[in-house]
Amino acid sequence: KHGFYTDRIACSIDYLNTFTPEKYVKDTIWKCAITMCKEEMDEKYEAVKKAMEEKFDYQFLRTAGEYIDISAKNCDKVHGLNQLFEHLNVSWEEACGDGTSDAEMIRLAGYGVTLENGCDLCKQNAKRILPDIKEEGCNVLFEELLGE
């Protein structure tokens, strides 16, 4: 089914299932995602990424086995946080993440951590690996930072 709809079950995320997004969206699209089965993604990702980045001014990042995030260049967590921190006059201290899009943020932080279920790239950049998200690994860090 083509068209625009809201998925109220998945955090009110809006989906656009179409080959002609300009028919439904008149404003700039800053980010979108592509999904396909992992086996197909394994086979096609690098070639699709290379071809699309040569043709369009967007960045392509495989964020999980079945997903590719497509966003405007510099429209990522690191760029957004750098702008926020500059505005607040603060610096990178702690960062926690588990997906490919978090790896650079973890690398730049003074104390970057990931979770047991984090991707390999996050684990390579982390100074510490917390318990799995199902074991409330993020809360372990928050409680330590808050002195609880």
Phi/psi region, residue 92 (left: phi>0; alpha: psi -120 to 50; beta: rest), is beta
Q: What local confidence, expressed as pLDDT, does residue 4 receive?
A: 47
| 58-to-25, 69, 112 alpha-carbon distances in Å | 18, 10, 27
- Can you read off the two tokens belonging to residue 25? 């969206």
* C-alpha angle 137-97-12 in degrees, rounded to nearest 5: 95
- Can you read off the two tokens belonging to residue 90? 């603060």
Q: What local confidence, expressed as pLDDT, does residue 34 receive?
A: 78
Of the listed ranges 26-30, 32-36, 70-74, the least confidently predicted one is 26-30
Pairing state between β 128-130 and 111-115: parallel
In angstroms and rounded to an integer, the radius of gyration of the C-alpha atoms of the chain is 18
* C-alpha angle 115-12-75 in degrees, rounded to nearest 5: 60
For the segment 40-63, what is each residue's pLDDT rounded down to a tens digit?
A: 888 888 888 888 888 888 888 887
